[in-house]
Structure 1
Amino acid sequence: MGIELKKLTLADCMKLDRYSTLRPVYLSERQPVNQFIWEEFYNTHYYQNDTYMMCVIQTNDISGPMMPLCKTEDIPAVFQEIKAYWNQVLGKPLNMYLLDETFINALRTIPGFEEEFKIEDCRDNYDYLYDAEKLRTLSGKAYHKKKNHLNSFLKGYEGRYEFKILDCSNVEEIESFHDRWLDNRDYEDKHGSMRSEENGIHRLFKYCGLVDCQIGGVYIDGNLEAYSIGSYAPEIKCAFIHIEKANINIPGLYNFINQQFLIHCFPEAELVNREDDLGQEGLRKAKLSYQPIRLESKYHIFQNS
């Protein structure tokens, strides 16, 4: 059987664009920037052919394919091919990670699937999807507190702040700010992923110019005090916010960069994916407070041994 796994590189991450458009996929893992940031944490390898591309992850806790990217009608056949490889060639049960609702529903059409596999609902990995225009305007009663925080920032720092679209020439000052931001954070790191995210961000900056993403920053009194990194999927009109960091000692700054990044860098976006909360209580509370229009479910499946 011809599945040969290769180590995922930045150039390979960019191949995701071709496959992620084969059907509407709203998971953050469909985006090359996300895969590149987390490649080290997951020790990601990949396989591709004319029909699908899949990334395979391996950590201390989990090992197996992530959701293959393919057409909806190809899901059952693609799954059976991967299952045969795992069972017959590798001699291992097939465990698969981070599957969306459409993929799970297609698997349920395979005779005997639900008897052979356990489906695990993975709430910590759910992505948060928002109405982009609501985040740009913060209009309506549900956003009243957010609008107040934003107005307080605008008033308190009037004449002192500036939003800028950043590029590779700004990498050194972004990294300098990021290190200062880390010094002032107290993490809840439930999944032990903090250091890998930091490494991924720095590798992203190392290859700045080769990565298809947008970077925005907020300056106060001429100093960078917040930045955000995002990418865009035009076929689903969705902006993906991969990184957002702001000086926690400046009230309302997170509200400001959240809004301005969308206004200036993704004006055409109708949806915004702000990724998952990894089970961090404070982060979950913050993401819910922005009133997501839905949570994008993710599932793991485990083959009975």
Structure 2
Amino acid sequence: MNKNFTPVSLDGSRDFYDLWQRTPRRSLDYTLPNLWGWQEYYGLEWRFDGSLCWIRQTLPRPVCWAPVGDWNAVDWNHALWDSCTEAALDFIRVPEELLHIWQQALPGRVDAGEDRGQWEYLYAREDLARLPGNRFHKKKNHCNSYVKAYGEPDYRSLDDAMVEDVLAVQDDWCQWHECENSPSLRAENEAINRVLSHWDRFSGLDGGSLYVDGQM
């Protein structure tokens, strides 16, 4: 077993995506664009032991993230205690499904706390396509206002030619919000630029934008 952590890098993307496909509950935090985009800010490291990818955050303090892989094919009595011992057994961003697996495998040995700030917003794709009922009334009004002001949307999928436009809009947004005076916004801007500058290196990363009179 390799116990050496190395910085998250695109060179390990094939091994990571193989384990990612086996992960029972996949969340945005653990996508490769997110891990690699925030690698420098959080000092993110990983190591592969064949069945799991262990992830460790070194900044501002050492802490472990949940592993990526097939959680149901692991002997947690041994794996968990050997995973991030250099950083102490303090895990964050653990999906609820994995927490339940740990609690069943290690009764009385896993303490848990809830961080609602890490919850994700999830919508049904069909709902966002149709915007039915009162729940989506405000969103429907926004769409109608857009069409009234600009006509039918000119939507374009992300490609190499569009990246320069995206980065330019992001730069304008950042100047408007004075990112240089906000450590969190500055870090987010750096992560966005880092990922978009290599966007075609990520499997399944997609996006798009609206254009009005040829301008994003």
TM (normalized to structure 1)?
0.63
- Tell me, in whole angstroms, the C-alpha distance in 1 between the residues paired with 2:3 and 2:199: 32
Whole-Å Cα distance in 2 between the matches of residues 195 and 19 of structure 1? 31
2:42 counterpart letter in structure 1: Y
Mapping for residues 95-110 of structure 1, pairs under 5 Å:
95-110=90-105
Aligned 1:1-305 pairs, distance under 5 A: 2-60=2-60, 62-75=61-74, 77-78=75-76, 80-84=78-82, 86-87=84-85, 90=86, 93-114=88-109, 117-158=110-151, 161-185=153-177, 192-212=183-203, 213-224=205-216
Deviation at 1:28, TM superposition (A): 0.8
Normalized per residue, which structure has more helix? 2
**Does the 8 A contact of 2:51 with 2:69 survive in 1?**
yes
User: Identical aligned pairs, as a percentage?
Assistant: 20
What letter is aligned with 1:180?
D
Q: SS at 1:134's partner residue?
A: helix
Q: 1:79 to 1:14 in 2, by over 3 A?
A: farther
Q: Which whole-Å CA distance do the structure 2 matches of 1:57 and 1:85 have between them?
A: 13
Paired with 2:178 and 2:206, the residues of 1 have a C-alpha distance of 27
More strand by share: 1
Q: How many residues align?
A: 214
Indicate if the aligned counterparts of 2:76 and 2:106 stay in contact, CA closer than 8 A. Answer: no
User: CA separation in 2, counterparts of 1:108 and 1:176?
Assistant: 47
**Aligned mates of 2:141, 2:84 — CA distance in 1:** 54
Deviations 1:72-93 (A, max 9, x none): 3234x24633423545xx3x63
Shift of 1:33: 1.6
Provide the TM-score with structure 2 as the length reference.
0.87
**Contact kept? 1:16, 1:30, Cα under 8 Å:** no
CA deviation vs aligned residue, 1:68-125 (integer Å, no higher than 9, x gap): 12323234x24633423545xx3x63111211111111111234544xx431211111
CA RMSD after TM alignment:
2.5
Report if aligned partners of 1:5, 1:45 keep a CA contact under 8 Å in 2: yes
SS in 1 for 2:127: helix
SS in structure 2 opposite 1:67? strand
Runs of at least 5 residues in structure 1 that lack an aligned partner in the other structure = 225-305
Partner amino acid, structure 1, of 2:21: T
Structure 2 gap ranges (5+):
none
Of structures 1 and 2, the one with the larger relative CO (CA 8 A, separation 6+) is 1
Kindly provide the CA deviation profile for residues 208-249 of structure 1, in whole angstroms up to 9, marking residues without a partner as x. 43233213111112111xxxxxxxxxxxxxxxxxxxxxxxxx
- Structure 2 distance, partners of 1:214, 1:154, is 24
Q: Judge conservation of contact 1:40–1:196 (CA < 8 Å) in 2.
A: no
